[in-house]
Amino acid sequence: MLLRALPRRPEARRILVGTVLSAIGRGLTLPFLFIYLTDVRGLTDARAGLVIGWYGAVTLVLSPLGGTLIDRFGARRIVLPCLVVEAAGTGLLSVVHSTTSAFLVMTLVAIGSSAIWSGQNTILASLTDDGERQRVFGLNFALLNLGIGVGGLISGAVVDTSRPVTFQMIYLLDALSYLTPALILLTLPGVGGRIASGPDGAQRSAGGYLTVLRDRPFRRLVIFGLVLTTCGYAQIEVGFTAYAVRVAEVSPRVVAWALAANTVMIVLAQLVVIRRLEGRSRTAALAAVGAVFATAWLVLGAAGLVGAGNALAAALGVVACSAIFGFGETMLSPVMPALTNALATDELRGRYNAMSSMIFGISGVVGPVTAGPLIGAADGKVWVAAVVGGCLVASLIALSLRRLLDPVQDGRRPTVPTSPDAEPAPAPAPA
């Protein structure tokens, strides 16, 4: 299954290597930003939530510009400097000492990250054909989480809120990890050029974001993504962590183990799920993701009810929530980007992927800002009800999308049968 999921082109395989190496650094810090800002740097819960929400706001504002620049100049010319900026911002997180400095540093991190996700997805889409994209995006996500899990296990064993130097160390290592995909991309000069260019090399007019917004199926997909990520992914760094520590009363180390359980689930299940999804409705898979995420939050809610009365049961509930959530991710990760790129044209592929990444920017604003107050209401019960209900609403939206797609776009019929030995088209020349 692993060999079957690997992309045919060696350039795409090297991009995946960069993914897993940088993800190890990301895993060192991913579960601890809220705890670091509050328990180590002394910010209040509300201010820490605003800082993290500000990151999402800046990313949201800059993402459309990133998509335009990717289509105009090529993903390579945009992703490389963004990786360097993100590395600098992540390193500076190790020395934040106040709310103001946290806002400034998170602004820098947001500038760097604003075009990385859409740029890397555009590069992978340009190196794969329609028949293998869903598999490759799924594998990319599995490798991403493998790296994050390894990093999480390392940081969970060393971080200590009474020793700020342990947090400074993991942020510096995370900063260094962002340079590995940049170095790999530098060795691939034929990758990441402009996709949409005419015979004379001139960029063709494509209509811009208005054309993207007129795409009714894609609009519905964006609405689905906004609801799902706001009640799902956007809750991981603040909602999940805060509920686990404040309500379920588990230690930060249990949060790290929960992240490890999430990774184990993804790594063990991803390839199997990719194979099971082939030839099946993508919209049905997206609807199932909402139901799985809702189940995960219900399990976390049960852990909060147990709380300090049974520390072991509360810890198991937190870990189980993360594992169940990971199973939902194995369905979402290959389907969402594959469907986005199935709806996109080459002229607008960067903008389509930027719009898709903006989903995380919008939810990154709403999720952290609302999680704190909701968790503080009725011992977290209001927060649990909100995220569970939101995930189920997302499932209904996904089901309504099916009638707007043809069987090929929905994944129920392959595009063009391709031989496993067929050679893909050459990479576009760098602009």
Task: Give the model's pLDDT for residue 200.
Answer: 44
Task: Give the model's pLDDT for residue 144.
Answer: 87
Answer whether 410's CB lies under 8 Å from 281's CB. yes
pLDDT tens readout for residues 210-259: 899 899 999 999 999 999 999 998 888 778 988 998 888 888 888 878 87
Band the pLDDT of 195: cuts 50, 70, 90.
low
In this predicted structure, the answer to whether residue 303 has a pLDDT above a threshold of 70 is yes
In this predicted structure, the answer to whether residue 54 has a pLDDT above a threshold of 50 is yes
pLDDT mean over 70-80: 92
Band the pLDDT of 50: cuts 50, 70, 90.
confident
Band the pLDDT of 267: cuts 50, 70, 90.
confident
Q: Tell which residue, 39, 40, 18, 22, has the closest CA to residue 30.
A: 22
User: Considering the chain, what is the average pLDDT of its residues?
Assistant: 86
pLDDT mean over 28-55: 86
Answer whether 111's CB lies under 8 Å from 85's CB. yes
Quote the CA–CA distance of 416 and 396 in Å, as a whole number.
30
Answer whether 128's CB lies under 8 Å from 13's CB. no
Phi then psi for 197, rounded to 5 degrees?
A: -140, 145
Q: Tell which residue, 159, 17, 209, 174, has the closest CA to residue 91.
A: 174
Q: Which architecture does CATH list for 11-187+208-404?
A: Up-down Bundle (1.20)
Band the pLDDT of 281: cuts 50, 70, 90.
very high
Task: Give the model's pLDDT for residue 194.
Answer: 77
Answer whether 407's CB lies under 8 Å from 280's CB. no
| Of 32-36, 88-92, 149-153, the least confident | 149-153
Q: What percent of the chain has pLDDT over 70?
A: 91
pLDDT mean over 5-14: 88
> Per-residue DSSP letters for 67-116?
HHHHHHH-HHHHHHHHHHHHHHHHHHGGG--SHHHHHHHHHHHHHHHTTH
Strand partners, 203: 197
In this predicted structure, the answer to whether residue 285 has a pLDDT above a threshold of 90 is yes
| Of 34-38, 372-376, 402-406, the least confident | 372-376
pLDDT tens readout for residues 80-128: 999 999 999 999 999 998 999 999 999 999 999 989 988 998 999 889 8
Task: Give the model's pLDDT for residue 427.
Answer: 40
Band the pLDDT of 424: cuts 50, 70, 90.
very low
Task: Give the model's pLDDT for residue 414.
Answer: 63
In this predicted structure, the answer to whether residue 5 has a pLDDT above a threshold of 70 is yes
Sequence ranges of the domains in the chain: 11-187+208-404
pLDDT mean over 292-315: 91
Task: Give the model's pLDDT for residue 373.
Answer: 79
Q: Tell which residue, 349, 112, 80, 69, has the closest CA to residue 188.
A: 80
| Of 200-209, 281-290, 342-351, 386-395, the least confident | 200-209
Residue corresponding to tokens 């199932």: 288
Task: Give the model's pLDDT for residue 428.
Answer: 40
Q: Tell which residue, 176, 136, 143, has the closest CA to residue 28.
A: 176
Instruction: State the DSSP H helix or E strand holding residue 371, giving kind and residue range, or none if neither.
Output: helix 349-375
Task: Give the model's pLDDT for residue 430.
Answer: 36
Sign of the torsion angle spanned by Cα atoms 107, 112, 114, 117: negative
Task: Give the model's pLDDT for residue 415.
Answer: 55
Q: Tell which residue, 338, 269, 261, has the closest CA to residue 296.
A: 261
Quote the CA–CA distance of 36 and 159 in Å, as a whole number.
10
In this predicted structure, the answer to whether residue 404 has a pLDDT above a threshold of 90 is yes
Quote the CA–CA distance of 425 and 413 in Å, as a whole number.
22
